Structure 1
Amino acid sequence: MARMPGATWRPIPVNYSGGGISPRIVVVHIMEGTLTGTDSWFRQSRARASSHFGTGKNGALYQWVDTANRAWAQAAGNSFCISIENEGKGGDRLTDAQLDRNAEILAWAHRTHGIPLQRTNSTSGRGLGWHGMGGSAWGGHTSCPGPKIVAQLDEIVARARKITGSGGTPGGSGGTPPTGKAPTFPLPHRWAFGPKSGPNWQVSGFYSHRSDLRRWQQRMLDRGWVGIGNADGLYGPRTARVARQFQAEKGLGVDALIGRATWDAAWTAPVT
């Protein structure tokens, strides 16, 4: 079971699916109504809808569905999303109290499910997103939660980072995660994805497992290098750019590859 401490547990008997979820995105919604009204609606079979969490404008926080189960909030996204319904209507902004509750949920999801403290604009990404980004596959609610709330997502990430002590800001480097001994450097398997002469040898073939690169990317995000995008375990232009910038900042050899020195520096070098 995965229930969030501090949330009022309001389990619903219908409108969710047991199990079958691997969370990687926290999705922000707007209720088009009140917390009390939504609580009542989710208990009716005809609603065919639910959410994991709900916030009130005054800071109330409900949990309706255990995050080990699928809430019915994003259609095709239900198998990998944790949903937050927020009291209000289209055109509203989240109150300061709602921003805090959303940040607390994101921080808890980070600790409990490993969801990174970052924005994502893609349904294939990881982090904090919003309902409308899923388009027709997520029910076609492209106006949910509205542009004013979408503009507040960076603030939610920043508050979640503060809660967890990860440091950093959504706009760039400057976080203050603790430094210390780096995890054991994963030996590179340069032949993992094709012959040495292949066009992507230095890029795609540098790691034997995506989890190694994902770990380094997440560490860089925690340091504040949010320009890296998502910690997805894929080596793309953003990861290469951040690697170069980080290497230059720390006086390392600038080749954009995450070798032993660059790996270790992500944990041991002071944050500037």
Structure 2
Amino acid sequence: MLTLASGLALSSVAAGSVATECSSKGFWSWLTGSNSEPAADPSAWTPGVKRRPVKKNFISGGRKAQRGLILHVQEGQGSLFEWFSNPSAKVSAHFWVSQTGEIEQYVSAHDQAWAQRDGNAEWASVETSGFAAQPLTPAQVEAVARIYQWGAREHGWALKLADHPQDTGLGTHAMGGSGWGLHECPGPSRSAQREAIMARVLADRHSGES
């Protein structure tokens, strides 16, 4: 659940042939002669995660802080890429996690997603597929923990739970109150599962240090 948030120059002769070649090879491949996309900044885009950048419904730059990650519930199922790409939606999130643990990233961590209104400039956001009345699946717990491990490493997200907007750590949409849209998202069940997510983050961190 989300809250609303208030080049190359080519001659006309060359454009036709370029367009044909670009459509068959992809713009980056045509431009560089490479068959691979440019490497993503690992502090902006989580490595190993499906990268699906939206073109609308976010603010480029403008992150004032990296307080942590806010947990949301989709109240539905299926990838949110098409919805977040719709100009009329006026909402987005940095990440989406399916019930089987698939992760998609739509917005760079350096940019503001439109997920929790007054909290957009200071918090990253993750939508979780399913409904508030249902708990996160074990695969979702693992996937959110994976995102959080990355954020802790790249942005110093605190290894604890957050309970108010000026806190740091793993928080919920509901904790923002009226400034974040006065939502109960992601619901009591999923909010309580933050403890399991953080336990997984800490376990993996200790395992890596041993």
**TM-score band w.r.t. shorter chain:** 0.7 to 0.9
The runs of 5 or more residues in structure 1 that have no matched partner are: 168-176, 179-272
Same amino acid, percent of matched pairs: 38
CA shift digits 1:20-55 (9 cap, x unpaired): 11211210000011132x221101011000000000
* 2:132 and 2:190 in contact (8 A); partners too: no
Query: Which residue type is aligned with residue 110 of structure 2?
Result: A
- Please tell me whether Structure 1 or Structure 2 has the larger radius of gyration of its CA atoms: 1
* 1:117 and 1:161 in contact (8 A); partners too: yes
The runs of 5 or more residues in structure 2 that have no matched partner are: 1-40
Q: How does 1:6-25 map to 2 (within 5 A)?
A: 6-21=48-63, 22-25=65-68
Query: Which residue type is aligned with residue 164 of structure 1?
Result: R
RMSD, aligned α-carbons: 1.4
Residue 11 of structure 2: aligned partner = none
Q: Which has the higher contact order (CA 8 A, sep 6+)?
A: 2
In the superposition, the TM-score normalised over structure 1's length comes to: 0.59
The Cα shift of 1:166 comes to 7.3
Residue 114 of structure 1: aligned partner = 156
Q: Any runs of at least 4 consecutive aligned residues in structure 1 with deviations exceeding 6 A, and if so which?
A: none
Residue 32 of structure 1: aligned partner = 75
Query: Which residue type is aligned with residue 83 of structure 1?
Result: S
Residue 17 of structure 2: aligned partner = none
* 1:130 and 1:144 in contact (8 A); partners too: yes
In structure 2, which of residues 110, 118, 130 is the aligned counterpart of residue 88 of structure 1?
Answer: 130
Residue 161 of structure 1: aligned partner = 202
Q: How does 1:1-272 map to 2 (within 5 A)?
A: 1=41, 2-21=44-63, 22-36=65-79, 38-141=80-183, 143-165=184-206
CA shift digits 1:145-174 (9 cap, x unpaired): 00000110011001011222279xxxxxxx
* 2:173 and 2:185 in contact (8 A); partners too: yes
* 1:35 and 1:55 in contact (8 A); partners too: no
CA shift digits 1:75-118 (9 cap, x unpaired): 00001101000001121100000000100111110001001110
The aligned length equals: 167
In the superposition, the TM-score normalised over structure 2's length comes to: 0.76
Query: Which residue type is aligned with residue 126 of structure 2?
Result: I
CA shift digits 1:171-215 (9 cap, x unpaired): xxxxxx67xxxxxxxxxxxxxxxxxxxxxxxxxxxxxxxxxxxxx
* 2:97 and 2:104 in contact (8 A); partners too: yes
Question: 1: distance between equivalents of 2:109 and 2:175?
Answer: 21
The Cα shift of 1:72 comes to 0.4
